[in-house]
A = this chain, B = another copy of it.
Amino acid sequence: MGLLDSLLNPASVAIIGASPNPHVIRGQLLLLLRKNGFAGRIVPVNPSHAEIDGIPCFPTIAAGGGGDVALVAIPAAAVLPALEECAAAGVKHAVIISSGFAEDDAAPPDLQDRVAGLARRTGMRVLGPNAEGFHNEVARVSATFSPAVDRDADDNPTAVHARIGIVAQLYNRGRALGLSFSTVVSTGNEADLTAADLLAHMVGDPDTACILVFLEAIRDVAAFAAAARQAAAAGKPIVAIKVGRSAAGQIAAASHTASMAGWDAGYDAFFRHHGIVVASELDEALTIAAALVSNPRAKGGRVAVLTISGGAGAWSADMLDAEGLTLPELGAATQAEIRSFIPSYGTARNPIDLTAGGAQGGGTLRAIELLTRDPAIDQIICVTTLANPARVTLDGPALRALLAERRKPVLFYSYTLPSPLGRQTLAEAGAVICPSMATLACAARALQHPAPPPALPPPLALPEAMRTRLSGPAGTLPEHEAKALLAACGVAMAPARMVTQRAGLAAAAAALDFPLAVKIQSAAIAHKTEVGGVRLGIADMPALKAAYDTVLANGARHRPGAAIDGVLLERMAAPGVEMIIGAIRDPTFGPIVSVGAGGVMTELFRDVAYALAPLDEAAAITLIGTLRSAKLLQGWRGAPAADMAALARLVSLVSRIAAAGQATISELELNPVIVHPAGPGSSDGGCTVVDALLAVSPAQIKGA
């Protein structure tokens, strides 16, 4: 029996401050617990009452004999003493519904910490505070005041019997879709039990087929990751709604990588790594969960749309196209067979317009049957109208038999609001009617098999020079120093010379050959271009001398008194595709590597992809493939293809450096990286790291 079974499936439930008044939360708790059929012992605790609605009421929790779970909805100031009494009486779990803790600026700052401390000290586990409680649909335990879980008021036909667990408050929206639930839990402030604990419980719960989480933050990354890995191994999909994106704002940082990362980087990388599906809207999350629990996974994104209206077909095609799904034209044999049972004014291309007449007499079912056998189609989308009872032409049991073969996903949408008969017919077949075409399209995308979690490359042994510098003082390293350290780690760098005296220019130029780039070097100048500290395309010695003088003069003018290390001379890079590679240390998820389009595209179009570091070359190739600018690397408009393999090797190496040095590397950025053409008729390929930035800063240990 899991840790949380005695919380979520208790033999007895105490209600601290239980009340006969149904208009206060303490009264609603008792009411809903009884109404929804809790079969265990109920222990109302309130010295003002001898009994409530026929149940004996006790002056103290001890007098009531304790209980597996105590529900606490009394004022915040009274919570701690009540918890002490509960723990002393042997209560196993407390659900704190009361507000007035960490979310409250006026609350005593340590109040929630003291709740957490009490949980650790006594072993009594705590859900909340500031939680809505939970509802266990299987065991009929409603430990919540939310009437969304009122079973009496639920007249929705059940379409799907595979149960979904929810760490959120989406019960009645899900019931409206005909879904089944196992446990619905609100974790509140997570003083003790976190979303990760509930996730782990649900992964282990045989009644739960899929888990839906609404997250404001992941408080316990290691536990959440472990539960996500178990879920993947158990084949239980996780769908997450994460809020707080726009609030992230700009971070003050040296690199573009860090200033752009905001919310998305860490969570995007984490969700991608664990194959967690991200939704932005409640109905979208529920539709995805519904599709996942009622269908097999799809081999890919090639969909066939079955409809009875040309307009609906064209519109569906647009919505599916927007989610990256494709509508291939059907093969000649399939088309011919469909045409045999539809009127001439229908069409057997894709979208397939059966017409109202063609859908009657079992046409829809025949078409679904045919399409499940067509190897060129991965998913079937049925867009129809279920408002008219006379037009509900589907035979529920026959459809159920067909869907039970689970050969391919079949999704349904009604552009009119479905009638009760329409809902009942589809529910009989075990199929969900998606609430909108947009959510259907998201579900079709999510039905594709997730990529397996990437293999971790072996740990990187940082060279001595890097280790020494990383244990040195905090600060942003000048380019020449960052490049030297990265070169020691195995990053190939273009030939370069540091020049500290004007007299050294000629020898450096002779060693490098023109045309050259000239760049001032100073720990005080992070953005060299902005102070006029860079000159490019220098073609000869007179121009080189002039450039040297200019960048030093500009540096002195913009940063008077700054210590200047010298001037870096480099051969101008050969042409290629401009990219950016970066790494940040996310406060929640640790080292995150990124790769994106370079130059102005970096920030303007945010074409950047993030992954947990480290990752191997194969995973880097996959990551690069998610960029819109991947087309540039593949050879855009007749340009030669760039050396994708070299770029992937470099992304992987940067991720391994960031991971190995995560204790003190706070930012790492190669920007731009020029990826040179590779392949027949091209030069040797490879990448040139034009500029590099390394920021050293000891990690803040969370909670320390």
CB of B280 within 8 A of CB of A310, answer no
Is A417 located at the chain interface by the 8 A CB criterion? yes
In the complex, whether A46 has a CB less than 8 A from a CB of chain B is no
Chain B residues near A282 (CB-CB < 8 A): 415, 436-437
Q: In the bound complex, do residue A636 and residue B600 qualify as a contact, i.e. CB atoms below 8 Å apart?
A: yes
Is residue A631 contacting chain B, with contact meaning CB distance below 8 A?
yes
Q: CB distance B99 to A355 under 8 Å?
A: yes
User: For residues 279 through 320 of chain A, which have their beta carbon under 8 Å from a beta carbon of chain B?
Assistant: 280-283, 310-311, 314-315, 317-320
A245 is contacted by which of B318, B417, B539 (Cβ under 8 Å)? B318
**Further pairs besides A104-B343, A104-B345, A176-B417: 15, Cβ < 8 Å:** A28-B390, A103-B310, A104-B344, A105-B344, A105-B347, A147-B419, A148-B385, A214-B311, A244-B315, A244-B317, A245-B321, A280-B438, A438-B438, A600-B629, A600-B636
Whether A448 sits at the interface, judged by CB under 8 Å, is: no
Which residues of chain B are within 8 angstroms of A148 by Cβ–Cβ distance? Answer: 385, 387-388, 416-417
Residues of B within 8 A of A280 (CB): 318-319, 322, 438
A1 at the interface (CB under 8 A from B): no
Residue contacts A-B, CB under 8 angstroms, 28 given: A23-B390, A28-B390, A99-B355, A100-B343, A100-B345, A103-B345, A105-B344, A106-B345, A107-B345, A148-B417, A169-B415, A243-B315, A243-B318, A246-B321, A246-B322, A247-B314, A247-B317, A281-B437, A282-B415, A283-B436, A436-B436, A529-B638, A530-B637, A600-B632, A601-B601, A604-B628, A604-B629, A604-B632
Instruction: Specify which chain B residues have a CB less than 8 angstroms from the CB of A603 in the assembled complex.
Output: 637
Task: Kindly provide the distance from the CB of A262 to the nearest chain B CB, expressed in whole angstroms.
Answer: 12
Report which of B28, B216, B604, B636 forms a contact with A314, defined as CB distance below 8 A: B216
Q: How many residues of A contact B (CB 8 A)?
A: 75
- Bitwise, A397-417 to B at CB < 8 A (1) or not (0) is 000000000000000000111
- In the complex, chain B residues whose CB is within 8 Å of the CB of A631: 604
Residue of B nearest to A539 (CB): B539
Tell me the nearest residue of chain B to A102, going by C-beta: B345
Contact partner, A389, options B147, B390, B437, Cβ 8 Å: B147
Whether, in the assembled complex, A334 has its beta carbon less than 8 Å from a beta carbon of chain B, the answer is no
Q: List residues of chain B with CB within 8 A of the CB of A691.
A: none
Measured between alpha carbons, how far is A438 from B436 in the docked complex, in Å? 12
Q: How far is the CA of A146 from the CA of B28 in the complex (A)?
A: 44
Rank and list the top 6 A-B pairs by shortest CB-CB distance, nearest first: A104-B345, A106-B344, A246-B321, A243-B315, A243-B314, A147-B388
Per-residue CB proximity of A358-387 to B under 8 Å, as 1/0?
000000000000000000000000000101
- A82 at interface by CB-CB < 8 Å: no
Q: For the complex, what is the distance from the CA of A480 to the CA of B448, rounded to whole Å?
A: 52
A467 interface residue (CB < 8 Å to B)? no
Q: Which residues of B contact A638 (CB under 8 A)?
A: 529-530
Nearest-CB residue, chain B, relative to A214: B311
- The verdict on A99 contacting B390 (CB below 8 Å), with A169-B415, A173-B416 known, is no
Residues of B close to A385: CB separation below 8 A: 148
A241 within 8 A of B: yes
Interface positions, chain A 408-449, Cβ under 8 Å from B, are 415-417, 419, 436-438
Smallest distance from the beta carbon of A637 to chain B beta carbons, Å?
8
Q: Which residues of B contact A101 (CB under 8 A)?
A: 345
What 0/1 pattern do residues 244 to 288 of A give for CB contact below 8 A with B? 111100000000000000000000000000000000111100000
* Contact call B388/A345, Cβ cutoff below 8 A: no
Q: How far is the CA of A638 from the CA of B603 in the complex (A)?
A: 14
